Each structure stands twice: as structure tokens, then as C-alpha cells.
């Protein structure tokens, strides 16, 4: 399900998400991760993860970037009529870009960060405290 906020399309949880591991490693607005880091936490490799994100609806897939902090050249929205720019959405959410093509490294969720999120989700603990 999608909506528009301030002229920028946002993505909410998709009914197609069936992987509990994916849900436990969701990123928040203003954060991003890489295919490699997320793949490691999910027990797969970057390429199969990228293939899955390209074919199975997953909320916030636009927050998964390549190792250099860029949007993959192969990134496509699964909604065929969707044409908004994922970089503009990321910027609207608070992700800064340090160059024309690279997201600010300080906002990257690393393997350790993702494992902490996954553990907190499994423990049902409050991430804000």
C-alpha cells in the first residue's frame, strides 16, 4: 500500500512481505543499509537479496543501497505506474547524500545495527530507550 506525503510517495508495509526476518530488520526513515549488510543478517548473499527485492513486495526496499551508498542501477519499483525517484524519497525521509550519488555513510545501518534491531524485535523490546 502506498501514499503521498508532501508530493513524495511513501511506502507502507506490503501484504506480500512474508519473511519474519525481513520484518525484524526494517529500517526507519532517515536510515539506510546495504544489500551486503542486510543479506549477511538474513543469511543469504547480496545478489539473491537484490533479486528478491526486485520481484517480491517489501516495504522500504528503497532504503537498501549498494556498497558505495548509491541506489542500484537495477532498482525498480514493483508498481509499474510508479515513477518517483527513490533518492528524492530518501532525502524526504532524512537521508543525506554526501555526493550526487552517495548517501551519507553516517546514516548507514551496519550488520551490527541490523542484528541489534533483529534482536530487539525478537525480544519485543523498546528501541527508543
Share of the chain above pLDDT 70, in %: 75
Who's near 92: CB < 8 A, 6+ residues apart? 5, 6, 8, 10
pTM: 0.76
What is the rounded CA–CA span in Å between residue 91 and residue 93?
A: 5
Quote the strand ranges of 2-126, DSSP E: 2-5, 8-11, 33-34, 64-65
pLDDT digits (tens, 9 = 90+) for 53-94: 999 988 899 999 999 999 999 999 999 899 999 999 999 999
What is the rounded CA–CA span in Å between residue 123 and residue 64?
A: 24
pLDDT at 125 exceeding the cut of 70: no
Count H helices and E strands in the chain, helices first.
Answer: 5, 4
Mean pLDDT of all residues in 35-49: 95
pLDDT-derived band at 6, boundaries 50, 70, 90: very low
Amino acid at each position: 500500500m502506498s501514499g503521498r506525503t508532501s508530493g513524495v510517495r511513501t511506502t507502507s508495509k506490503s501484504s506480500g512481505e512474508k519473511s519474519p526476518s525481513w520484518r525484524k530488520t526494517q529500517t526507519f526513515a532517515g536510515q539506510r543499509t546495504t544489500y551486503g549488510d542486510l543479506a549477511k543478517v538474513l543469511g543469504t548473499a547480496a545478489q539473491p537479496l537484490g533479486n528478491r527485492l526486485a520481484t517480491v513486495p517489501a516495504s522500504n526496499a528503497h532504503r537498501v543501497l549498494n556498497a558505495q551508498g548509491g541506489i542500484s542501477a537495477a532498482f525498480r519499483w514493483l508498481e509499474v505506474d510508479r515513477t518517483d525517484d527513490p533518492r528524492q524519497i530518501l532525502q524526504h525521509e532524512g537521508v543525506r547524500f554526501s555526493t550526487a550519488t552517495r548517501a551519507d555513510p553516517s546514516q548507514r545501518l551496519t550488520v551490527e545495527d541490523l542484528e541489534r534491531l533483529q534482536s530487539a524485535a525478537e525480544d519485543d523490546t523498546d528501541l527508543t530507550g
